């Protein structure tokens, strides 16, 4: 695993200064104080990254006012030892201490803090979560794979189209991959009218597969083995849901939320730097995905690290992600994938706001905003598209 970027943080303030007092304006009877917007936070502790979003409701969605991301490699060595290492926990506590300060500085009223696959698998998970609480004041919960899938769908399902009754939604993470089979709910009880029918959680993600290969250079044989290993775990899920039949009826759409698909989107567009407004909601044909994948797999580690939007930390992890994606596309030949640069954290934010009585449904696709003339749900570019 590359250590070059371990201390690199990605933090952005979207034009909101938490220390500023609310602006005052003179009214008929003197100065009045503008009511401060309520802030909400979502913190996702994954196998590879620690990622925070802070947002406020606006219109039917929300505006991200700050974000923070740091590579912590929490799951490093977990497959071998079954435990979170002291070094990994120390790195994570350091990042979470920054998150805690950011939440305080923006006066966040409600937050949800979740841990996913690495903590689910670790023997010392509870001990670690207790330490987080004691040292940072942040209360964390290790969520189930089904809850992870539910939040991921909630965060991105507004991107699903109305013209297909079924949806395959997948989230390629650092330690696991969740595949969701959903159906349009005619009762419209769910956001965007989709409900989960089944979830497949694979304990294989970009970090775990990269560690299995053991080096930066993933050759063709190793790549094909990864594709094969993933492919072997998909048929039962496919058969019990009759997915192939629905695809043959042209009644299935596919949506992907992960650093893998956002990176491939950026490669396809030939971006010199990552731009969320061009990626979130982007539609890619399977042929376009194949071409972008080949551009990456034909390069060595150094060549990939020099590509825009990738860098050292992605140069290794993007190849296992491509293998997972290839297995998914081969199993279910929908023909087109919609890219989502959103997921768990956005799902948590929406749920926190809805539970607080705020009538939000979600933000439209970032790359469609210039078409609808609306700026009420604009966001800052919240990172480099690295979801894992």
pLDDT at 33: 55
pLDDT at 378: 37
pLDDT at 185: 85
- CA Rg, the chain, in Å? 21
pLDDT at 336: 98
252-257/336-340 β-pairing: parallel
pLDDT at 270: 95
Alpha carbon distance 323, 327 (integer Å): 6
Q: What is the mean pLDDT of each run of 10 residues along the chain (388 residues)?
A: 47 48 46 74 96 96 96 93 97 98 97 97 97 98 96 94 94 96 75 85 93 79 94 98 98 96 96 94 98 95 90 88 98 98 96 95 75 36 43
Q: With contact defined as beta carbons under 8 Å apart, do 76 and 85 qualify?
A: yes
Domains, the chain, ordered by start: 9-146+345-372 (3.30.420.40), 156-340 (3.30.420.150)
pLDDT at 187: 64
Q: Tell me the pTM.
A: 0.85
Phi/psi of residue 287, nearest 5 degrees: -65, -40
Q: Which residues of 337-359 are buried (b: 16+ CB within 10 A; e: fewer)?
A: bbbbbbbbbbbbbbbbbeeeebe
Chain position carrying tokens 């250590």? 3
pLDDT at 171: 97
Q: Which two tokens stand for residue 239?
A: 């058969």
What count of other Cβ atoms lies within 10 Å of the Cβ of residue 195? 14
């Amino acid at each position: 695993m590359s250590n070059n970027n371990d201390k690199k943080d990605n933090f952005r303030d979207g034009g909101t200064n938490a220390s500023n007092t609310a602006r005052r304006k003179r009214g008929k009877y003197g100065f009045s104080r503008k009511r401060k917007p309520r802030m909400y936070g979502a913190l996702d502790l994954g196998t590879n990254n620690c990622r925070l979003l802070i947002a406020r409701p606006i219109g039917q969605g929300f505006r991200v006012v700050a974000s923070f991301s740091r590579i912590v490699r929490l799951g490093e060595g977990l497959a071998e030892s079954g435990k979170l290492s002291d070094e990994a926990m120390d790195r994570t506590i350091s990042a979470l201490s920054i998150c805690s300060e950011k939440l305080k500085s923006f006066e966040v009223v409600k937050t949800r803090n979740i841990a996913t696959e690495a903590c689910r698998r670790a023997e010392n998970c509870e001990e670690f979560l207790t330490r987080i609480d004691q040292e940072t004041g942040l209360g964390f919960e290790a969520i189930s794979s089904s809850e992870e899938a539910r939040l991921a769908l909630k965060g991105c399902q507004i991107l699903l189209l109305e013209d297909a009754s079924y949806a395959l939604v997948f989230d390629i993470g650092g330690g696991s991959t969740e595949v969701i089979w959903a159906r349009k709910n005619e009762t419209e009880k769910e956001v965007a009218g989709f409900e989960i029918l089944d979830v497949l959680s694979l304990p294989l993600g970009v970090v775990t597969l990269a560690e299995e290969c053991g080096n930066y250079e993933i050759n063709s044989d190793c790549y094909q083995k990864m594709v094969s290993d993933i492919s072997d775990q998909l048929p039962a899920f496919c058969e019990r849901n009759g997915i192939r039949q629905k695809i043959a009826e042209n009644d299935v759409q596919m949506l992907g939320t992960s650093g893998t698909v956002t990176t491939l989107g950026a490669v396809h567009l030939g971006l010199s730097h990552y731009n969320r407004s061009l990626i979130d909601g982007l539609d890619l044909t399977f042929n376009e995905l194949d071409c972008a994948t080949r551009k990456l797999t034909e390069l060595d580690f150094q060549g990939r690290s020099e590509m825009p939007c990738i860098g050292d930390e992605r140069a290794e992890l993007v190849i296992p992600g491509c293998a997972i994606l290839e297995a998914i596309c081969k199993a279910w030949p929908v023909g087109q994938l919609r890219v989502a640069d959103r997921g768990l954290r956005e799902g948590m934010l929406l749920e926190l706001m809805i539970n607080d009585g705020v009538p939000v449904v979600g933000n439209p696709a970032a790359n469609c905003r210039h078409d609808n003339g609306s700026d009420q749900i604009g966001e800052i570019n919240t990172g480099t598209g690295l979801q894992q």
